[in-house]
Amino acid sequence: MTSHDAAAQKPSNFNVPNVLTTVRILLVPVFLFVLLAHDGLDPVWRLWALIIFLLAMITDKIDGDIARRYNLITDFGKIADPIADKALMSAALLGLWWISVLPIWIPVIILIREFGITILRLVIVKRIVLPASKGGKLKTVLQTVALALFIAIAPLHAVLPAVVTFWIVIFAWVVLTAAVIVTIVTGVDYLVQVYKRLKVTP
């Protein structure tokens, strides 16, 4: 295959997955503005924040599926997709802390792990590449569900009996606690796997 043929087969950066990723990045400041509006107390604004958050997370699933199915994986996507994911998660965690829904230690633990592992991946990518683990996928699901529940508390409280929202809050804390535990465990496991691979990789 000639270099011309290889270039011809390389997918363009202007494709559906990359557009969705870009949209997700652009939604982050919009989501944060809506979440923080009226000090996060207005149930209607919180409902819109929830909708934006869920739409952004759905685009994450869709763009990955399309990119893999139609071989539209690009260098831009490899860089922009994790940036979009981390930006959205950071906005949700820090936004919920800012409006006094979450204590500061939860965003600190999760974000140190997320950005630490991301930076480590970039540093070692030329030597070793570790595939995404099932634990990492579980972590993302738990974080997404927990944050969505905490964002939803205000609009749910406006329409549901207090006893119902009380148990929803309890469930949200259970899910978030599980998310923090899985976040820590998968982070430690990744470090162990990297150490083992580096020992045998020249």
- On whether the CB atoms of residues 25 and 87 are closer than 8 A, the answer is yes
Task: Compute the half-sphere exposure of residue 31: CA atoms within 13 Å on the CB side of its CA.
Answer: 28
Nearest-angstrom CA–CA distance, 2 and 168 = 59
Residue 3 has what pLDDT? Answer: 47
Task: Report the share of the chain in percent with pLDDT over 70.
Answer: 94
Residue 168's pLDDT band (cuts 50, 70, 90): very high
Torsion angle, CA of 164/165/167/171, rounded to 10 degrees? 140
Instruction: Identify the band that residue 112 occupies on the pLDDT scale cut at 50, 70 and 90.
Output: very high
Whole-number pLDDT of residue 202: 64
Question: Distance (Å, rounded) from C-alpha 183 to C-alpha 116?
Answer: 12
Question: pLDDT (tens digit, 9 = 90+) per residue, 50-101?
Answer: 999 999 999 988 988 888 888 888 878 878 888 899 999 999 999 999 999 9
Cβ atoms < 10 Å from Cβ of 77: 22
* 172, pLDDT greater than 60: yes
Domain 16-200 has CATH 3.40.50.10860: no
Q: What is the distance between the terminal CA atoms of the chain, rounded to a whole angstrom?
A: 30
Q: For the chain, what are the domain ranges?
A: 16-200
Q: Please give the DSSP secondary-structure letter assigned to residue 133.
A: P
pLDDT band at 1 (very low <50, low <70, confident <90, very high): very low
